Chains A and B, each alone.
Chain A
Amino acid sequence: MPIIVNLDIILAKRKMKSKDLAAIVGITTANLSILKSGKAKAVRFSTLEAICKALECQPSDILEYVED
């Protein structure tokens, strides 16, 4: 998939654990893992908004387009 999720990088920069982010955003760690691994087919705006709010970043910091 040409959309790369850079959640790991942002999490490392913020020194935040996946478990904590999942708790703040209100999703399960399993779903966060699906998002991080790039297996997710879609992201809800509400989820993206919550992630951006928790990590104090922009959607473009998390999502990146790379041509195949």
Chain B
Amino acid sequence: MLSLNNNNIKMRKLNILKSLVDFIWYITCLPLIPLILFFAVYMFFDADVLKVFNVLDQGIIITPWYLKVVLLLIAILLFVLIYSFFLFRSTLRYFQNSNPFDYFVIINYKKIGNLLMVSGISGTIISFSFHLFLKGSLQFNLGLSPYLFTICLGLFFMVLSEIFKVAKTAKQENDLTI
């Protein structure tokens, strides 16, 4: 009876998480994909669109071509983050089916970890070069920056993948204990 109650609580939490992730996916991620694509193409035809970024209004002389490349790289990084979120969303379905130690989950978590690491490191490099070459300032963010947070999250998913691998082996051994 107690374990049934615990299971219900666990499932309720999982359902809340899945609903939240679905909400973010449909409200934020899905509309963002065509918007980023549109912006990435449109900025090559109309440079005025870059004015949405305040950098052009600060009186800094910027080569528009360079800014376009930076924005294109940021767009790619955003796609990487959206894909990571998509992978995370798909693993939640396995949790709902009470199959958390599937190889799909382990591989996906490793993939998410790698993608987040790449995204975090690339973001740091882009941000650092942007400030160095365009603003002429050497800037380090030693606090909790989004890039640092992304790298930590990536490492966490990698560790989680390893833990799930160990847990899968333990579960298999437990299943074969008579």
B57 CB within 8 Å of chain A:
no
B54 CB within 8 Å of chain A:
no
Q: How many residues of B contact A (CB 8 A)?
A: 5
Task: Closest A residue to B173 by CB, please name it.
Answer: A41
B176 CB within 8 Å of chain A:
yes
Chain A positions within 8 Å of B176 at CB level: 34, 39-42
Chain A positions within 8 Å of B3 at CB level: none
Residue from B172, B176, B177, B178 whose CB has the most chain A CB atoms within 10 Å: B178
Interface of chain B residues 149 through 178 with chain A (CB within 8 A): 172-173, 176-178
Chain B positions within 8 Å of A40 at CB level: 176-178
Interface of chain A residues 21 through 67 with chain B (CB within 8 A): 27, 31-32, 34-35, 39-44, 47
Chain B positions within 8 Å of A35 at CB level: 178
Chain B positions within 8 Å of A27 at CB level: 178
The answer for the CA separation of A43 and B176 in the assembled complex, in Å, is 9
Chain A positions within 8 Å of B173 at CB level: 41-42
The answer for the CA separation of A43 and B177 in the assembled complex, in Å, is 6
Q: Which residues of B contact A (CB under 8 A)?
A: 172-173, 176-178
Q: Which residues of A contact B (CB under 8 A)?
A: 27, 31-32, 34-35, 39-44, 47
A-B interface, 3 closest residue pairs, ranked by CB to CB distance from nearest: A41-B176, A42-B177, A41-B173
